[in-house]
Amino acid sequence: MRLEKIVYKKLLEVPKGKVTTYKELAKAVGIKNGQRAIGKIMNKNPFPAIVPCHRVVNSNGTIGGYAYGQKVKNNMLSKEGIKIKNGKILDFEKNVHRF
């Protein structure tokens, strides 16, 4: 199976109202120090309505980039109940999904 499919399948485990980090997702699929690789895979996600790449954020609690813009990502996370202030997730550790 291609790496992209493995990553997208793993990402489907992150429930609505939770986020995971690029690092956590990389570790979950067996890519050591694979944060950048995960970011590139998320950026090319052909199914953003199905595979919730907006739920992948930076390890420091900032929301990170998004192919459709940070404002869109911020809005999507907010609609799922994630509270964000100045581009940073409030109660970050409480909202992180660990695999």
Cα–Cα distance measured from residue 66 to residue 42, given in angstroms and rounded to the nearest whole number = 8
The catalytic site residues sit at 53
Burial (CB count <10 Å: 0-12, 13-18, 19+), residue 19: buried
Dig out the tokens for 83 from the structure: 């509270």
